[in-house]
Copies of this chain bind each other. A is one copy, B any other.
Amino acid sequence: MVLEVLARCQDFISAQRLHSLLVAEDLRISLSTVYRALRELETADSVDVVRDDVGERLYRLRPEDGHRHYLICRSCGRSWPVDSEDVEQWAERIAADHGFAAVEHTVELTGVCGDCQPASDEGESLSCHPDSGRRTPAHRARSYAS
C-alpha cells in the first residue's frame, strides 16, 4: 500500500503525510507500519530521502531511470529528477584528490519553480502536498547552502 501511494505520488512526502493519505483512502494501516515499510524501501534503495527544513524525512520512490538527485521547489514542494553526471564526476575527483575511498554523496537542490515565481501560489496539479503554495520558507533551521 505504501509503495502504491509513493508510486502514485511521484514526489517527496513525509511518513506522516503518507500515513494520512492512506488513512484517507480508508486503508487501515498504522503509522508504525508506514515507518517500517519506508525503512525497508530505504534499505532496498527503492526510495530517495531528503530532509525537510525542520528535520523531518521526506521519501520519494526512485524513478526507474535511476535518478537519485532532485530539484525541489521550496514553495510548492514538487520535485524533478535531475541529471547529476557532473556532480558524480566532481565527487569522484574530489575524493580521489584527497585519497578517500568508498565515497558517497548527498546533494539537495532547492529553489522556486517557474509556476511559483510570478504570483504566489499555484501548482496544485499534484496531490502529495496539501500545503502546496504555502510553506514556511526558512522556518528556522536552514541547511547550509550557497
Contact = CB atoms under 8 A, between A and B. Distances in A.
A91 B109 contact: yes
B104 A106 contact: no
Interface stretch (A1-9, A24-32, A120-128, A137-145): A137-145
Q: Is the interface of A mostly helix, strand, loop or mixed?
A: mixed
Contact of A82 (B98, B99, B114): B98
22 contacts: A42-B141, A42-B142, A47-B144, A55-B55, A62-B144, A68-B144, A73-B100, A80-B98, A82-B94, A87-B87, A88-B146, A99-B113, A99-B114, A100-B111, A102-B111, A102-B112, A104-B109, A105-B107, A105-B109, A106-B110, A106-B143, A106-B145
Interface of A: 39, 42, 47-51, 55, 57, 62, 68, 71, 73-74, 80, 82-84, 86-88, 90-91, 94-95, 98-114, 117, 140-146
